[in-house]
Amino acid sequence: QWLGMAGTRGALIVLEGVDRAGKTTQCSKLVQALQQSGRPAEMMRFPDRTTTIGQLIGAYLENKSDLEDHTVHLLFSANRWEMVPLMKKKLEQGITLVVDRYAFSGVAFTSAKPGFRLDWCMQPDVGLPKPDLVMFLQLNPAEAALRGQFGQERYETSVFQRTVQQRFEQLMKDQTVNWQVIDAAQNIENVHRDITAHSLNAINKAQNLPLGEL
Ligand code: DGP
Ligand code: NA
Ligand code: NA
């Protein structure tokens, strides 16, 4: 595979966590910091609500449509798969991708619904590009509550989010994934400092390693 001008690939870096942990803010700050230090970096987010599949997901999340639970799970996964060619191209060009949610959200959110087995939930995402680093922004429910009310979207209730948190804790036991837990209760700048340190480390390591598969 072509490895770009510098001969090195970019790193695939994912931020995960329950809603309101600050993922989106931290993704933007990380991309900005990497770019300012001369490292090519771009942000992506899942779900990407701009595609045809993403629009179906968006309407579902906004409670404007109802979709059967297995069906919507597969749509979320398809929304990740449809971006894989672009992701691989950018990584090969040496661009580090900072991704707001990925397959782990897919598994944590669907398996928080009654009647879903973890292994069934994981199957559609098997084979996706494997992140070089997954940072879990840890924020307990009491601290999350201090950040204000939930919005009106589907899944935005404390009861559901607590179950999601438990599912993430199960997923973090997987030693084949480079999980790093970040204390998201710190102020924005300290969270950013921790995230940047882990990311620089992952970017350096990724240069000498092939991109893996989930
Ligand atoms: P966000 O745009 O990051 O606020 O995410 C929208 C919501 O969708 C959020 O509650 C998390 C949830 N979500 C993200 N990815 C998936 C997924 O793959 N499957 C399911 N069921 N929910 C997801
Ligand atoms: Na949300
Ligand atoms: Na967000």
Rounded Cα–Cα distance for residues 107 and 120 (Å): 9
Q: Which residue do the tokens 């509550």 mark?
A: 145
Cα–Cα nearest to 6, from 45, 38, 33: 38
pLDDT band, residue 6 (cuts 50/70/90): low
CA distances from 167 to 32, 37, 40, 49, 157 (A): 31, 36, 33, 24, 16
Q: What is the mean pLDDT of the chain?
A: 94
Index of the ligand 1 atom closest to the CA of residue 154: 10
DSSP 3-state of 85: helix
pLDDT at 4 over 50: no
DSSP tally for the chain: helices H, then strands E: 9, 7
Which of 25, 28, 61 for mutating ligand 1's site (highest number of atoms within 8 Å of CB)?
A: 61
Structure token digits, residue 208: 């000498």
Q: What is the pLDDT of residues 153-203, one digit of tens each?
A: 999 988 999 999 999 999 999 999 999 999 999 999 999 999 999 999 999
Q: What is the mean pLDDT of residues 8-29?
A: 95
pTM of the predicted structure, to 2 decimals: 0.95
Which of 81, 155, 157 for mutating ligand 1's site (highest number of atoms within 8 Å of CB)?
A: 155
Rounded Cα–Cα distance for residues 208 and 7 (Å): 10
Which range has the worst mean pLDDT, 37-46, 55-64, 133-142, 198-207? 133-142
Longest dimension (CA), the chain: 49
Q: Whose CA is nearest to atom 16 of ligand 1?
A: 106
Above 0.90 for ipTM, yes or no?
yes
List phi, psi (to 5°) of 41.
-150, 145
CB contact at 8 A, 23 and 137: yes
* Ligand 1 proximity of 106 Cβ (cutoff 6 Å): yes
